[in-house]
Amino acid sequence: MNDIKEIIIDIDGIKKAFSFKTNGGLTHSHCDKFRMLPYVANDKNLDIDYQGVAGAFSRSICGKKLSEDFNEDVFIKNVSEKIGEYEGKNSKETFKDIIKTMFLDNGNLINFDIKTLNYIQASSKEEKIATFLSSVLTNKELKEVVAQHYNVEVKNIMYKLVLDSLPKLKEIDIKDEEFKCYLPFVRDRFLEDFKFLISNEELYKESLERVLEFYYMFYVSQLALKLSKFEKADLSKPDSLYYSLSWESLSKNRTAYKFGWDLLKNNVTTLFSHAITLELLNHSNTYEQLNYVELYELFNNTDETMAMVEIQSLIDLYKNQIIDITWRSMKIKEINSGNLAFDKVLELFETVEYQFNNSSRSRAYEAYRNWYIKFVYEKFSKKRGPLGYNLNLTEDDIILLTKICIKDKGKLKLSFLFEEFEKRGICFDRDSKLKVIQLYEKLNLLEKKSDSGDAQYVRSVL
C-alpha cells in the first residue's frame, strides 16, 4: 500500500461485481473486495442456533469438518460393537441403554469431553457466522494452542471408547482472514480471554457458546460505532456503550438508556450502506482490504486531487446507473474531512445511503441490519415497557464475565474490574455499578480492606 502513488478505481471490476444492466440498474453486492460482515440483504429466516455456531467455531479453529451428520442409532451401534463379548442375552441391550443414558440428550451428544464440541451440528447460516467469528477473532498462534488442548489423550476408558466410536472428522485448510478484522483491539482481548477459557476445560465446555455471543455482540456493536465516525474513529480502544441489568429498573434519564441500545441502533441502521461504500472503494489498485481510517491515511500520502477525481467518477458512475432516483433532490451535506479525496468518500456514502432510503431497495437495506438486530433482541436486550428494548445482562452474565476478567489472579480491585468490563465493550452507569456490587456481596465475593470504597476487591468465582 505504501508504494501506491496514484489511486485508480477498477470501473470494469465494479460493473461486473455489481451486475450493471445495459439499460440501468445494478445489484448491490458486497464481500468480494471488502469482507466486513456475514450478512445478506434477506431476512426471511434469521433463526440462528448459537450452540450450532459454537460447534462450527470449534471445528473451524481445529481445522476440521464433519464428514457426516451425527446419528444416534449409528453411534450406539458403533460403541456396542467395540465390546468383544457380552455375558447373557440381554447384556448388549443393557449396555446400549447405559450409553444412551450417559452420553445422549434428546438424540444429541453430551459434551463430556472438549472434542465432542466438534460434533455439534450447524446449519449453513450458523457455519457462516462461525467462519466470520473465527476470521476476525482468532489467529494462527491461537489455533496452535487449541490443538494442544484438543489433542490430549483421554484416560477414562469409557470416554475413550465413546470418542473412538464417533465419525472421523475431515482435515481442512482454514483461511486465517476470510473476513477483514476491522477492530484489532477486540481480537487482542478475545485471544487473551480464550486462552484462559480453554485452559479450564469445564468452563470452556460450559461457556464457549455464551463467550462467542459476547464477542459477536462486542465486535459488531463497536464496528457500527466506529464506522459512523469514518476517518475519525479510534481503532485502538472501544467506544463507551452502556448496559443495564435484568434485575434493576430503568428510566429515560439513565445513562444506561441514553447511551445503550438507543445509541447503538442508530449506528446499526446504516451498516449496509457502509458495506457497499467500502466494497466500491476497495475495487482499486491497492489490492488490500482498506477501511475508512486506512483509506484516509492512504489519501494523505498520495495525490489527493487525482484520488478525488477517481472517486467523483465512481459517484457519477453509480448515480447514472441507478435511474429510479431523482438525484437532484439529494442535498449534499457540508463536508470537510481535511482531505479532498476523503470528502468524496463521505459523499459516496451519502449517495449510497440516499438511494436506499428513497427506493424500493429500502427493504434490502433493513433486512441486512436485521441479522444483528434480531441477535441483540434475543441475546442482549430486555423490553422495558414504553422504553422499548435496552441492552441487558443477567446475573449469570456478570458471573461469567467476572471469571474471565479476574482469570487466575485470585482477586481484583473492584475499580479495576469495572475497567476490565469496559475493555470488553461493557459500561455501567452509577446505578448499575451499585447493583453489581450488591450481587458480589450476595455471592460473598467482595472483600473490604478498609472502609474506603477504593479498597474493595472481588474474589474469583472459580
Segment 123-136, tens digit of pLDDT? 999 999 999 999 99
Say what the pTM is.
Answer: 0.95
Residue 388 lies in a domain: yes
Q: Are 172 and 185 within one domain?
A: no
Residue 192 lies in a domain: yes
Q: Are 54 and 137 within one domain?
A: yes
Q: Are 222 and 140 within one domain?
A: no
Q: Are 275 and 335 within one domain?
A: yes
Element (H, E) at 166: none
Q: Which residues pair with 357 in a beta bridge?
A: none
Q: Of 163, 178, 193, which marks where a domain is finished?
A: 178
Element (H, E) at 404: helix 395-406
Residue 361 lies in a domain: yes
- The size of the chain, in residues, is 462
Q: Are 92 and 168 within one domain?
A: yes
Residue 432 lies in a domain: no
Report yes or no: 53 and 209 within 8 Å, Cβ to Cβ: yes
Largest CA distance in the chain: 88
Residue 24 lies in a domain: yes
Q: Are 223 and 335 within one domain?
A: yes
Q: Are 172 and 203 within one domain?
A: no
- Per-residue pLDDT tens digits of the chain, which is 462 residues long: 557 778 899 999 999 999 999 999 999 999 889 999 999 999 888 999 999 999 999 999 999 999 888 889 999 999 998 888 888 878 988 999 999 999 999 888 999 999 999 999 999 999 999 999 999 999 989 989 999 999 998 999 999 999 999 999 999 876 655 899 999 999 999 999 999 999 999 999 999 999 999 999 999 999 999 999 999 999 999 999 999 999 999 999 999 999 999 999 999 999 999 999 999 999 999 888 999 999 999 999 999 999 999 999 999 999 999 999 999 999 888 889 999 999 999 999 999 999 999 999 999 999 999 999 999 999 999 999 999 999 999 999 999 999 999 999 999 999 999 999 999 999 999 999 999 999 999 999 999 876 555 679 999 887
Q: How many domains does the chain have?
A: 2
Q: Are 232 and 354 within one domain?
A: yes
Q: Are 255 and 382 within one domain?
A: yes
Residue 90 structural domain: 50-178
pLDDT digits (tens, 9 = 90+) for 250-275: 999 999 999 999 999 999 999 999 99
Q: Of 341, 367, 393, which marks where a domain is finished?
A: 393
Q: Of 393, 424, 440, which marks where a domain is finished?
A: 393
pLDDT of residue 172: 86
Q: Are 149 and 256 within one domain?
A: no
Residue 138 lies in a domain: yes
Residue 451 lies in a domain: no
Q: Are 206 and 81 within one domain?
A: no
Residue 313 lies in a domain: yes
DSSP string, 52-94: HHHHHHHHHHHTEEESS---HHHHHHHHHHTS---SSTTHHHH
Q: Are 169 and 252 within one domain?
A: no
Residue (of 303, 304, 378, 316) closest to 351 by Cα position: 316
